[in-house]
Amino acid sequence: MKVADAVPEFADAFGFEEFNRMQREALPGIFESDHNVVASAPTASGKTALAELAICKTLSEGGTALFIAPLRALTNEKESEWERFEELGYSVYVVSGERDLNPRRAERADVLVTTPEKADSATRKHDSARYSFITDIDCIVIDEVHLLDSEKRGAVLEVTVSRLRRLQDPRVVALSATMPNIGDVAEWLDAPPETTYEFGDEYRPVELETGVKTYSHGSNAFADKYRRLYRALDLAEPHVREDGQALVFVSSRQDTVQAAKKARDEITERDIPIDSRGDYEFHNEAKSLSNDTLRQSVLDGVGFHHAGLGKEDRDRVEAWFKEGKIKLLFSTSTLAWGVNLPARCVVIRDTKYHDPLEGETDISPLDVLQMLGRAGRPGYDDVGYGWVVCDRSDADKYRRLLREGKEIESRLAGDLESHLNAEVSMGTIRGLGDVMDWLETTFYYVRARSKPEEYGFEGLRDRVRDTLDSLIADGFVAAGDDLAVEPTALGRLASKYYLRLDTAREFRALADSERLTADAVLETVAAAGEFDSVSARSAESDAIDRVLDGRDTTLEDGHRKVFAILLASMADATPSDLRSDAWVIRQNALRLLAALSEFLDRFAGSRAANLACRVEARVEHGVAKEAVALTAIEGVGPK
């Protein structure tokens, strides 16, 4: 079926001329009906076109579409891809990352592209005239809806979609990788059977073979990393020798560079032929790279890719990999979710990663399946090969994942208290009856009904009622007559700054402190629950002790590390041993310090708030307390 025949008005909005089998089968339900749609399909089967069909239908009816992509990499990708809609006369507005949403631009947009966090923030202000565009949205397209099961952002995606549906009841089109319980998602979104599509592996453009390779875990983490790398190279080597390509996922930006360097040595040692080494034209092209290490690496047919590279360097690496000039590419997991960059062989070298706020963490099963889905190049390979390299003790877990897939769970229960407070704060819940109505709009409720024993379905309503009672008892919510509820100043501030409620309680308690000092401000922020999972490595203990300089603190190790980083930041003197995690910790702390300033202003007065503001400025700019006033001048402060 030709695109120009099916959707003549929007033929130029698509980057191809013919729909594939999966797209043809879904087209009537998406473009010719008004029903909500849920579609799951294998990675690289063409799901993006389904999103574009839903947007085209909305635009053809004069409506506004909201595209929610759970990762910044995906929204940024759409900014360039969807210039095609701009060329047809439609306005596309992309908001993600550090960009603040501009309500005027959003109101003028025909297609609004954003992350769940940005959409959540906007919907919390829906009753403001500047954010009235939220209630004018006619269709929500959710990309990668299976990220409902993401620990970090799943609950935000869930409550944001539920809130939008309560505010406006727009059409919803949700797209996903293959998931066993698609019926639960369809039930949550009220998608009827005729527009619930479950496309199996037979719709993959290339057959996928997956497996698990193990290694013996030792006592030295550095040595283990190289054991896994040699395993990965053993798996990739046959394909590279046959002029194929391999994509190896590692856990950090630094690891992409180190692994690529070691792989270059191994390619030479193993005498693996690399055609690009003798390509004079490619040698000239490589001179345009701004990263010196990358320039040397790609000339040996080995590349690395991560978000810290400049955009032009990333674009060149992607193009050269597609052209086959780079044979072996090391990347972080973000590449699995962003641009479609398939390879004959995909290897996941690292199943764990270090998160500055969480410590050592297993990569998400969703990430594992998404990465392996990149195996196999349509039009080039008959079969794609995907491998997980893991410790022997984890082998059965990953074999089961590859065999059975991953059911999508709700993550709302883990943060029910703060999300319920947010709904009360923005006025979408005004009484006990509203609480129960809200509960029934969530994926949490649907999943609990589907798995009553695991979720405790019989006691679910009591749990939500108890949570509301707790919010009232702690002063976040005020109870009125006839079971009515309304937000308090404490509840509004906690919601405004996305605080964990135990953190809000501590901030409120600090406002009653008789002696408020800069150290007390920093220690309260460092003790926040948002930093509970920060871990202090043994190699960092000396640096932490030096910074704290004998300060008497009851903080536990991870929180002591945060305290030390914040103290050092005020003097722009962060020890080298603490720098790897310092940026992330500092950015989170600045948000908490801004919140604390407003808490103190509300509950302790302007003098206390001014102290917190000065501490915040010193942490951000790294200046002495005597120079804080100068930070108001643009360009003042350490570079």
Q: Which domains does the chain have, with CATH numbers?
A: 3-203 (3.40.50.300), 207-404 (3.40.50.300), 414-490 (1.10.10.10), 497-632 (1.10.3380.10)
270-276 contact pairs (CB < 8 A, 24+): 270/237, 272/237, 272/240, 272/241, 273/241, 274/300, 274/301, 274/327, 275/243, 275/301, 276/300, 276/301, 276/325, 276/326, 276/327
Angle between helical axes of 365-372 and 395-404 (0-180°, round to 10): 70
Predicted confidence at residue 276, as pLDDT, reads 66
Query: Which of 159, 342, 140 lies closest to 239 in space, CA to CA?
Result: 342
Q: How far apart are CA 110 and CA 92, in angstroms?
A: 6
Q: Which two tokens stand for residue 212?
A: 């698990």
Q: How far apart are CA 528 and CA 209, in angstroms?
A: 45
φ, ψ for residue 94, nearest 5 deg: -105, 125
**Can you tell me whether residue 174 is helix, strand or coil?**
strand
One-letter amino acid identity for 195? T
Q: Which two tokens stand for residue 103?
A: 């309500």
Query: Burial, 461: exposed, middle or buried (Cβ in 10 Å; 0-12, 13-18, 19+)?
Result: middle
Predicted confidence at residue 481, as pLDDT, reads 82
Chain mean pLDDT for the chain: 91
Query: Which of 589, 594, 552, 554 lies closest to 568 in space, CA to CA?
Result: 589
Count of CB atoms within 10 A of residue 6's CB? 19
Could you give the C-alpha distances from 346 to 28, 106, 126, 400, in angstroms and in order?
35, 39, 44, 19
pLDDT tens, 280-336? 788 899 999 999 999 999 999 999 998 788 889 999 999 999 999 999 999 998 777
Query: Burial, 200: exposed, middle or buried (Cβ in 10 Å; 0-12, 13-18, 19+)?
Result: exposed
- Residue burial 374-412, b: 16+ Cβ < 10 Å; e: rest: bbbbeeebeebbbbbbbbeebeeebeebbeeebbbbbbb
Predicted confidence at residue 320, as pLDDT, reads 94
Whether 617 and 594 have beta carbons less than 8 Å apart is answered as no
Whether 556 and 533 have beta carbons less than 8 Å apart is answered as no
Q: Which two tokens stand for residue 611?
A: 């102290």
pLDDT tens, 389-416? 999 999 999 999 999 989 999 999 999 9
Q: Which two tokens stand for residue 572?
A: 């722009």
Q: How far apart are CA 50 and CA 396, in angstroms?
A: 35
- Residue burial 82-109, b: 16+ Cβ < 10 Å; e: rest: bebbeeeebebbbbbeeeebebeebbeb
Query: Residue ranges of the chain with pLDDT lower than 50?
Result: none
Instruction: Give one DSSP letter per residue of 345-388, joined into a string.
Output: EEEE--SEEEETTTEEEEPPHHHHHHHHTTBS-TTT-SEEEEEE
Query: Which of 598, 557, 561, 559 lies closest to 577 in space, CA to CA?
Result: 561
pTM: 0.86
- Measured at the CA of 59, the angle between CA 55 and CA 64, to 5 degrees, comes to 80
- Measured at the CA of 569, the angle between CA 566 and CA 572, to 5 degrees, comes to 165
Q: What's the alpha-carbon Rg for the chain, to the nearest Å? A: 26
Q: How far apart are CA 356 and CA 168, in angstroms?
A: 38
CA 58, 63, 67, 68 torsion: positive or negative? negative
Q: Around 450, how many Cα atoms within 13 Å sit in the side-chain half-sphere?
A: 19
